[in-house]
Amino acid sequence: MANHRKKFIDLLDKAMAAADMMDREDLLFSYKGILFPTTMCSPETFKALESFEARSEDVILAGYPKSGTNWVGQILNNLVTTAAENNEDETNSLNDKELEEFPYLEVGDPEKYQRMEKLSSRRVIFTHLLPQNLPESIFKNKAKILVLVRNPKDVATSFYYFNNGMSTYPSYETWDEFFTAFMTGKMPGGSYFDHICEWSKHDDDENVMTLTYEELKENRAWGVKKIAEFLGLLLTEEQLQAVVEGSSFQAMKAKSQKTHGGVGNILFRKGGVNDWKTLFNEDQNQEMDKTFEERLARTKLGAKIKYEVYCKT
């Protein structure tokens, strides 16, 4: 197993074991008004993060939880490692086997950022943080940022099952109870609506590209190519095709025990569009429609979500 996957699985296993011993109300803590899982993040790590020095070669995958981060993360990692096989000038941190860190920027111990300085470029880094809570160097040094968005109804549905499956997150007795927490932003990672609003402000930045879960689902080959172009990575058609095939939901689910350990079964759930129809009642549909219209319909990312196509009954 690749070393970075082992570290990933070990950290998750430890976090889940610690969470099993905790009371529900202690599972999350608040930092700058946003909730985070106690077993994975800490105020000390957030403080240390301020001094993180980004590089222009870094690739930051940013998005709200449950938008498909693990999916696009695998595509990114595969593109970056394959490009490095083609071109000796193109290196990446995934080959620094002993050094590789848990991929989420905000997860881990405060010394993590010093260790990350030793990693080769390119570093592929995931984050669920709002842009204003990211270290300034990411924008100043023009790291490439891939912003991933997914329609709010499928995000809420995915998050509901994930919260109930992962011991590191508080579970909910009913979908209705979860829906209220989601709509009021009392979620690990904060409010979905704030995320879309805030990332919309960066949509025109030259170093930012936005991708939606739904467009990737409709045409993975197109999406993989678009990401490679954005990063200026050179791969042959066959190599691109291998990345496309390896990133189908079925392929990733089949390997999930190896890549994600016990979390694999919880994470690779349905991998589709429209599962929200099994949970949302009429009132909840109306409430989401109204909130989307008021808060997101006129934002840049709000338009890219194609709410009329993916979220209307």
Q: Please give the residue ranges that form the binding site for ligand A3P (CB under 6 A).
A: 65-71, 154, 158, 161, 217, 247-249, 252, 267-271, 275
C-beta of 293: minimal distance to ligand A3P in Å?
24
Ramachandran assignment for 232, one of left (phi > 0), alpha (psi -120 to 50 degrees), beta (any other) = left
196 touches 306 (CB < 8 A): no
Name the pairing type of β-strands 144-149 and 59-63: parallel
Strands (E), the chain: 28-31, 34-37, 59-63, 124-127, 144-149, 208-212
d(CA 206, CA 125): 19
Fill in the amino acid letter for 207.
N
Query: Which residues partner with 124 through β-bridges?
Result: 59
C-beta of 268: minimal distance to ligand A3P in Å?
5
Q: 204: exposed, middle or buried (C-beta count within 10 Å: 0-12, 13-18, 19+)? A: exposed
Q: How far is CA 233 from the centre of its chain?
A: 21
195 belongs to the catalytic site: no
As given in the structure block, the two tokens for residue 100 are 């590789």
Which positions are catalytic? 128
